[in-house]
Chain A
Amino acid sequence: AQRVTQPEKLLSVFKGAPVELKCNYSYSGSPELFWYVQYSRQRLQLLLRHISRESIKGFTADLNKGETSFHLKKPFAQEEDSAMYYCALSGFGGNKLVFGAGTILRVKS
């Protein structure tokens, strides 16, 4: 069964502190992993995808197949990073997304 687990509902950090949003998945095959972000009163938008291997807004995420994880990291949090973050997966080459429950990131000044 396809499943995405985000164990933390809320993560609160101070500005400048490192951030790690956890995501674990279960999928029989080769999935594509994504992080989506939803800022206050805005629609869901793609932050990054594992196949791109790029850093967006200072965030990176590495797919660890051994640990079936795709944690989102940023070395120095900024207040504007405060948002809801969703980890999602799809079958490789597919587009049906399975979402985790989401983690609220709150960056305090």
Chain B
Amino acid sequence: GAVVSQHPSWVICKSGTSVKIECRSLDFQATTMFWYRQFPKQSLMLMATSNEGSKATYEQGVEKDKFLINHASLTLSTLTVTSAHPEDSSFYICSALRQHSVFFGSGTQLSVL
């Protein structure tokens, strides 16, 4: 099967610091990965599409300078939340595309104090 690993599972940071979340496809190459955000008791909201070797495509209303995405290899995409604030606290989920199917990571709970 296709496995997507997301790390860390949870992170607590101070306001103003930056946090990096990794998304790895363990047994396949993924030229396209997706980053979602989920607030408590709400649905997953697509933030951006991460494309290997090129710039990410951000959804409307998502600040690209705030949420930096890097997809430097075929198995790794990273999301960096820069200068985090308490309102950035959320559950972040990545997914990777493999042959027209999407496989999800287990998510990262970010808490900004």
Interface residues of A (CB under 8 A from B): 4, 9, 42-46, 86, 95-102
- The answer to whether A43 and B43 have CB atoms under 8 Å apart is no
Known: A43-B105, A96-B49, A99-B44. 19 other contacts (CB 8 A): A4-B43, A42-B106, A43-B4, A43-B104, A43-B106, A43-B107, A45-B104, A46-B102, A86-B44, A95-B34, A95-B97, A95-B100, A95-B102, A97-B46, A97-B95, A98-B46, A99-B45, A100-B43, A102-B43
Query: B40 → chain A, closest Cβ, in Å?
Result: 12
Closest to A95 in B: B97
Report the separation of the CA atoms of residues A18 and B96 in the bound assembly, to the nearest whole angstrom: 34
B21 to chain A: closest CB distance in Å?
15
Q: How large is the interface on B (under 10, 10 to 19, 20 to 34, 35 or more residues)?
A: 20 to 34
Q: Point out the residues of chain A lying under 8 angstroms from B93, CB to CB.
A: 44
- Whether the Cβ atoms of B102 and A97 lie closer than 8 Å is yes
Bound together, the chains give a CA A102 to CA B101 distance in angstroms of 20
A contact patch SS: loop
1/0 per residue, CB under 8 A from A, across B21-33: the answer is 0000000000010
Which residue of chain B lies nearest to A100 when distances are taken between CB atoms in the complex? B43
Closest to A6 in B: B43
Majority SS of interface residues in chain B? strand
Q: A101–B32 contact, CB under 8 A?
A: no
- Give complex CA distance A98, B97 in Å: 15
* Complex: chain A residue closest to B105, CB-CB: A43
Instruction: Pick the 10 closest A-B CB pairs, nearest first.
Output: A44-B104, A43-B106, A101-B43, A99-B44, A99-B43, A43-B104, A95-B97, A102-B43, A95-B102, A100-B43
B42 at the interface (CB under 8 A from A): yes
CB proximity of B8 to chain A, nearest CB, Å: 15
**From residue B37, how far is it (CB to closest CB) to chain A in Å?**
11
CA distance A20 to B47 in the complex (A): 30
Q: CB < 8 Å: which of B34, B45, B101, B105 contacts A46?
A: B101
> 27 interchain pairs (CB within 8 A)?
A4-B43, A42-B106, A43-B104, A43-B106, A43-B107, A44-B95, A44-B104, A46-B101, A46-B102, A86-B44, A95-B32, A95-B34, A95-B97, A95-B100, A95-B102, A96-B34, A96-B46, A97-B34, A97-B44, A97-B95, A97-B102, A98-B46, A99-B43, A99-B44, A99-B45, A101-B42, A101-B43
